Amino acid sequence: MTFISLQFIVFFMVVTLLFFRLGNQKGRIWLLLIASCYFYMSFIQEYILILGGTIVIDYFAGIQIEKSEGSSRRFWLILSIIANIGTLAVFKYYNFFIGNIHTGLQFLGKPISLPLLKMALPLGLSFHTFQALSYTIEVYRRKQTAERNFVVYALYVMFYPQLVAGPIERPQNILPQLKVFRQYDWNNVKDGLARMLWGFFKKAVIADRLAMVVDRTFQHYPESSSVALAIGAVFYSFQIYCDFSGYSDIALGAAKVMNIQLMENFNQPYLSRGLSEFWTRWHISLSSWFRDYLYIPLGGNRHGETRRKLNILIVFLLSGLWHGANWTFIIWGLLHGLFVLLLTFSIKKGKESQTGFASLLQVLFNFMLVTLLWIFFRAENTGIAWDYIKTIFSFRGGSNYIAINSAEFIFSLAAIGTMLWREYYLPTHFIRNNKWFYIYVTFMVVACYYLGVFAENQFIYFQF
């Protein structure tokens, strides 16, 4: 059940209306948990057992961590980490690891054949694994009390709006909200619905339209011209933004309708003047997770410059690996780390002489850099990524066909411009008047219907 589907729209309507019709919080929690189970099982039913298993382990680990002291406390934390990272390692990284062993031994002339796991990756595994980990770590740090109510804890991990693609929540934000009975608030409903519609628009009208160009250029890069490939790369930057932030908008909006506030995941990332700033604006819940649970525990910047740089590289390497078991993601993460180190140095040096124009140039330069790095993220393998980038800079001729005609190309640019304008000037929902709200809803529904590209494209981040 993707967010861009009739099933989700009907499901959301039924669950939300039932939620407000229930007169006590216990009933609401059960409703949301059952609905979340149904939501997750609509992808692959059996995988709920994996999710359920880690939930049970983390629930008991949390209680034991709170009760224990010293090494016992540490033991339960490690158990929780092993359960979560172990699940992730088996389902996400095992085949990648074995594949590389095969390649390495074949290269050495000693080929062997180890068994591969023939299972699809459970949907959103990386997201809910990290969310579960943040709970046990926070309990261990004594910043969060262990949750005694199993249903509430299960819902913390499984809350359907953010179950398969985040935001990766913290227990301090979500758990208290799940326990308080919240009254129906029409303003929240309006805000939530408006945000969901904006997410639908970004996904269906922009991301899935740009996907036609991106798919074409990445599939036909050997015969495409440099201009076509550059357009494909730039469009991918906006496709992935509209796809992922569109998902987050729908998730935050759906929760907001029920008066539950999820954390923001994006803050106009393409307006960043450097990569460090970019990572404070892009997928905020993940970058802050790595900061809080990896970078700072590794020592952060407290042990000298060399150690700080090493820590940054480790974080970006693991961030790349988090996205997928493929060398493309690893290189993408490492390159981000390297450029963060290099450009932080240059920005510090040039800090004094910044003007408005210089800032604009920095934004453009950063956008181009991010776009080039996205090519690794999108390409099937690193060879294709290098070829794609080399071809862009070879300024060669070739096929300029990009799967859409000039009218649709101009429309795509206009849609991107509208999206950037709207998010810059009107970052939050702004309509309080009911009449204008209904007009806005009607306009957005009509726009999504007539201009949307409904090709049943899955959200890009669902694969992680």
So which residues are the catalytic ones?
Answer: 323
We find the least distance from the C-beta atom of residue 237 to another protein, in angstroms, to be 22
Residues 40-79 vs another protein: string with x where CB under 8 A?
Answer: -xx--x----------------------------------
Work out whether 219 is an interface residue with another protein (CB under 8 A): yes
Does position 7 interact with another protein (CB under 8 A)? The reply is yes
Contact 229, 392 (CB under 8 A): yes
405 near another protein, rule: CB under 8 A: yes
Q: Locate all alpha helices (DSSP H) within 45-185, ordered by sequence.
A: 48-67, 70-88, 94-107, 125-140, 150-158, 171-179
Work out whether the CA dihedral 91, 93, 96, 101 comes out positive or negative.
Answer: negative
| Site membership for another protein, residue 106 (CB under 8 A) | no
Q: Which of 30, 38, 60, 96 binds another protein (CB under 8 A)?
A: 38
- Element (H or E) spanning 416, and its range? helix 406-425
400 lines the binding site for another protein (CB under 8 A): no
454 binds another protein (CB under 8 A): yes
**Per rule CB under 8 A, count of chain residues that contact another protein:** 27
Q: How far is the CB of 3 from another protein (least distance, A)?
A: 12
Interaction pattern, residues 305-334, with another protein; x per rule: CB under 8 A: ------------------------------
Segment contacting another protein (CB under 8 A): 36-44, 287-295, 302-310, 313-321? 36-44
CB 212 within 8 A of CB 404: yes
d(CA 187, CA 8): 22
Dihedral Cα 115, 118, 120, 122, nearest 10 deg: -60
Taking the complex as a whole, the smallest distance from the CB of residue 31 to another protein amounts, in Å, to 11
CA distances from residue 33 to 59, 150, 256 in whole angstroms, order as listed:
15, 11, 17
DSSP string covering 306-335: HHHHHHHHHHHHHHHHHH-SSHHHHHHHHH
Q: Which is nearer to another protein, 43 or 93 (CB)?
A: 43
Regarding 441 and contact with another protein (CB under 8 A), the answer is no
- Confirm or reject binding of residue 408 to another protein (CB under 8 A): yes
Binding part of the chain for another protein, among 6-14, 22-30, 238-246, 249-257 by CB under 8 A, reads 6-14
Residue 399, classed as helix, strand or coil, is: strand
Angle at 129 between CA 242 and CA 203, to 5 degrees: 15
Residues 6+ apart with CB under 8 A from 39: 1, 11, 160, 163
Nearer to another protein, 5 or 280 (CB): 5
* Residue 306, token pair as written in the block: 């060399």
Q: Which positions touch another protein (CB under 8 A)?
A: 5-7, 10-11, 13-14, 17-18, 20-21, 38, 41-42, 45, 219-220, 404-405, 407-408, 411, 449-450, 454-456
